[in-house]
Each structure stands twice: as C-alpha cells, then as structure tokens.
Chain A
Amino acid sequence: MTPEDPSSNRFRILSPLEFWGKTCLSLVLTLGDFVRFFVAILAGLLRGMDRFGRREMLSQMFDLGTLSIPVVMLTGFFIGAVLVIEAYPQFHALGLASRLGSVTVLSVVKQIGPVLTGVMLAGRVGGAMTAELGTMRVTEQIEALRSMAADPVRTLAVPRVLACLVMTPILTVFSDILGIFGGWLIAVHVQGINNDQFWHFARVGVDIYTINTGLIKALFFGLAIGAIACYKGFRCGNGAQGVGRACTEAFVSSFIVILILNLVLALLLTNIYVMVWPNQPPIL
C-alpha cells in the first residue's frame, strides 16, 4: 500500500494536529463543493424546467408537501398548546394573562411554525429525497442520465429544491394555524381567558411584517433543506451503507443550517423592522 492510500490510515491514531488539519481541510473542500452545487441549482432555477422536471416537481410536492400536512398540523397544535400551558403561570403572576394571545400568535408565527415545519421537513426530506437520489447514484441512474446528455442537476435537483421552496411556506401556514388554535384552546377553554381579549391582543401583536418574517424564514429553510438533501444524495457513498449515511448527514446538516439561518434571519429581519419603523418598537 502506498502512503497516500486513505485506507492505510484507517486504524492509525492521528495526532491532534493531523486530525484537526484533516477535519478542517475536508470541511473546506466539502463546503466549496457544496457552494458550486448550490450555484448550479440557482442557475437551474433561473433556467426553468422541462416537461420531465415539471412532473418530478409535482410528484415531489405531493410526496413531501401534501403528505406532510397532517403531521405538521399535529405537531403545531401540540406545541402551541404546551406553549400556553407553560407560559400561563408567569403571565398570570404578572397580571398579564390576558396578553397570552400576543405571545402565542407571535411565537407561533415567527418562530415555532417555520422552525418546526423546517425540522419536520428536514427529517422527511432527508429520509426520502436523499435516499432516492442516493440510490439513483449507487445504481448508476445518475450516470445514465448524464450519458443521455441530460443534466442531473436540472432534471433531478432543481425540481426537488423548487418543491421544497414552495411547500415549506405552505406547510408553515398550516402549522401556524394549528399552533394558534392549540394555544387558543388552552388559553380560552382551560385557563379561562376571555375570548375577545385573546383575539384582541393576538391582532395587536401581529402585523403583516411579522407574518412575512415567518414565511421568509420558511422560504430559506426550504431552499436549504432541498439543496442539502440533493447534495448529499448526489455525493452519496457506495452501497446501502452509503445511502443510509447520506440520509443521516442530510438531516443533521439541514437541522444545523436551519438553526443558524433562523438566528441570522431573526437578527436581520428584526433590524430591518427597527430601521423601517423606528418609533414602533416590536411589541413585547
């Protein structure tokens, strides 16, 4: 075995310097590779799709979107309900229990809806989309596409990313509605808050900008989830093990990217709000 054979290093303990050097290097290389892939997807999004691509997109929208509606609604409902149950004592102690409407709607629309939907979808997409594309790679279907002069990014990745891009905000709306419903149910029917007050503060707390904040987040989450899932599928290692690993990696990476994007977008969108409406500090 020659020194550059990676397998000869497999069972050797690396020195810390070597380990971090290797880790950083592979991270940078992967990131560079991903950026190139992502640019190709963006270019493909602008170029549009052929007939085959449109069909792929619709079937993906159904598989990942429509079929996810029940589970997204269910999780939204429970988290909304729990939110109110746990926030109530504090607000009650401060004598602000009637303001729970604002809290519920604001947290659900800005945070819980998009993040929850993103994470649910990351799991589903990591499991389904990465597995499908990974299997296609392992069984040479992606090479077969290329051999027939078709561009796999355009025929496979673009429709999938577009499906994620469209479906994440839509699913977020479903999650939002059920989250608010769950919160309302507990607040009004369990904690005994006045129904009119709940809705009054809900309306005061939320303007169109807030709703858009949530939807813009969802849009970015969808883009990230779709692109990462496709990337991991396209670069999947060999065999069933390679496919399994790609799925896990897709989910973990999407999850981390969602959290980072959430932070960045929260900072960015809040600052924009303050810039545009300087005299109107965000409520609460």
Chain B
Amino acid sequence: MIQPTTDTLAQPIIRFADVHKRFGSLVVLDALSLDIPADRTTVIIGPSGAGKSVLLKHIVGLLQPDSGNVYFHQQRINHLSERQLEPIRKRIGFLFQMGALFDSMTVGENIAFPLRHQGIKSERNIQQVIGEKLAVVGLSGSEKKMPADLSGGQKKRVALARAIAMDPEVVLYDEPTTGLDPIRADVINELILKLKEELKVTGIVVTHDMASAFKVADQIVMLLNGKIIAQGTPQQIKTMENDDVRHFIEGRANAADLKALHRL
C-alpha cells in the first residue's frame, strides 16, 4: 500500500483510529484508520456496499464505532451524546446520498432550515442565502417548489445547497454528481473546488464518478471490504499496480463477475 504523500503540513481535521463497525454479522468497517487533512478534498471510492456512507456517518456521530475512535480537531467524538454533538454538527455540512430533503417543506424552507435552526433571525439574510445557494447549484427561482415536484438530479442539487447553507468548514458529499448530466456534474466539481479554494472548506467526497474523483481530489482513498486498500494522490492512484484498484478506476468487470455472466 502506498502511503499518502499529500503535503504533510496539512493538519488532520478528522481522524479515524482503528475503527470497527458491524451490523449483525456483517463487518462494514474493519480496523480502519484514516487521516483527513484540513482544507483539502479527500475522495473516497470503492464498490457499492464497501461502507463509504457508513464512514461518513461516523464523522457527524450518526453512527458510533463498535471499537476504535473518531476525532474531530483532536477531540474524540464517538462517545458524545446527541446534545454534546450539536456544536460539532453545526460546523459540518452533510449531503446525503438520497438527498434526504424534508418533503413537507418547500425547497426554500429546506435550505433555510439549518439557518433558522441555528438562530439566524433576519428574514432578509435568510432569503439572500437561499437565493445565493440555489444560484450556485443552478436552480434559481425554485424556492417555492416542493421536493416531490423535482427530478432526482434537482433534488440532489437542492440537498447540496442545503448542506452548504451555513458555510460549514467541512462538507461531506455523498455522491454529489450521481444522477446529474455530465455538464451539471462538472459544475458541481467546480463548486467543490471553489469551496475549497475560496472558503477553505475541507471536503470528503464519496463518488463512483472517476472523472470527478480525479478532478477534485487532493487525496484518494479506496475502500474494499471495510479496509483501505489504496491511498494516495490522484497521480499515485492512477499509476498503481494493484489489480482491484486498476479494475475499479478503469471500470472493468473482473474475472469472477464475467464468469457469473457466462452462466446466463
């Protein structure tokens, strides 16, 4: 396994130390240790079911490890109560894989929710943020729509607007470009880059979109069966010899999958 050579100056803002997580008998994270550098974008790749979404949920305390620890700014967070997690959660934006928009609220109210919940009273400020963030994701003027009336890709973008509404210092993007057309997907890539460069946002991007991964990543981590099998800069990952990594980034089916198909 190649060790990360992304600049060692960057302090880890989030740290996984020997994290184990299982659901029943299914081992999802297996002795996972990972440093997420501040002000950089870390991309997590890996096959479906590898535990990428589970990993993200540990960072905001939606899930707790069975053993091992998770740190945010050197503070151990996996033993904190919901109440104690609140200040940490306020600093992190989370784009859920399925969007998780509140479907009883309009698009505008969805984006306003974190703002109102955190005590921003000025209605003018709130409306301004809603307008700004919707423009950023290319959905200006849809404040009044209900989530049920949006397409899959539009929902995803509203969810992204909601995740960045508070200008958080860390944004967790769970498949931000899935379900978007190639042009819109690239706009989202640019957005992720821009947030990092201009607002110093630490990004963690889970994606299956390799073009997006190589474009936005400072560091790429590949998960397989709950373990990290490769970690490095995009350049290092591209030139890696490991078969699992090669197959994955080139999007080629492996021998076992092909054999199963032949039985059809």
Q: What's the least CB distance linking A259 to chain B, in Å?
A: 32
Question: A145–B60 Cα gap in the complex (Å)?
Answer: 12
Q: What's the least CB distance linking B204 to chain A, in Å?
A: 13
| 0/1 interface trace, chain B 83-108, chain A, CB 8 Å (1 if under) | 10111011010101110111110000
Query: Is the CB–CB distance between A143 and B62 below 8 Å?
Result: yes
Q: Does chain A have a CB within 8 A of B114?
A: yes
| 0/1 interface trace, chain A 122-157, chain B, CB 8 Å (1 if under) | 000000000010001001110111111111000000
Work out how many contacts link A and B, with CB atoms closer than 8 A.
Answer: 66
Interfacial chain A residues near B85, Cβ < 8 Å? 149
Given contact pairs A139-B98, A144-B102, A52 touches B25 in the complex (Cβ within 8 A): no
Chain A interface category by residue count? 20 to 34
Question: A143–B89 Cα gap in the complex (Å)?
Answer: 12
CB < 8 Å neighbour of B57 from A6, A50, A143: A143
Query: Is the CB–CB distance between A149 and B86 below 8 Å?
Result: yes
Which residue of B has the minimal Cβ distance to A59? B104
Interfacial chain B residues near A4, Cβ < 8 Å? 24-25
Interfacial chain B residues near A145, Cβ < 8 Å? 102
CB < 8 Å neighbour of B100 from A1, A51, A140, A149: A140
Question: A149–B25 Cα gap in the complex (Å)?
Answer: 31
Chain B interface category by residue count? 20 to 34
Question: A50–B92 Cα gap in the complex (Å)?
Answer: 22
Q: Does chain B have a CB within 8 A of A241?
A: no
Question: A141–B105 Cα gap in the complex (Å)?
Answer: 12
| 0/1 interface trace, chain B 207-243, chain A, CB 8 Å (1 if under) | 0000000000000000000000000000000000000
Query: Is the CB–CB distance between A52 and B116 below 8 Å?
Result: yes
Interface centre among A51, A52, A148 (most CB of B within 10 A): A148
Query: Is the CB–CB distance between B24 and A144 below 8 Å?
Result: no
Q: Does chain B have a CB within 8 A of A5?
A: yes
Query: Is the CB–CB distance between B100 and A6 below 8 Å?
Result: no
Q: Does chain B have a CB within 8 A of A279?
A: no
Interfacial chain B residues near A15, Cβ < 8 Å? none
Query: Is the CB–CB distance between B118 and A146 below 8 Å?
Result: no
Q: Does chain A have a CB within 8 A of B7?
A: no
Interfacial chain A residues near B102, Cβ < 8 Å? 136, 141, 144-145
Q: What's the least CB distance linking B112 to chain A, in Å?
A: 10
Q: What's the least CB distance linking A19 to chain B, in Å?
A: 20
Q: Does chain B have a CB within 8 A of A280?
A: no
Query: Is the CB–CB distance between A148 and B96 below 8 Å?
Result: no
Query: Is the CB–CB distance between B96 and A144 below 8 Å?
Result: yes
7 nearest interchain CB pairs? A144-B100, A149-B89, A5-B25, A140-B100, A149-B86, A147-B94, A2-B25
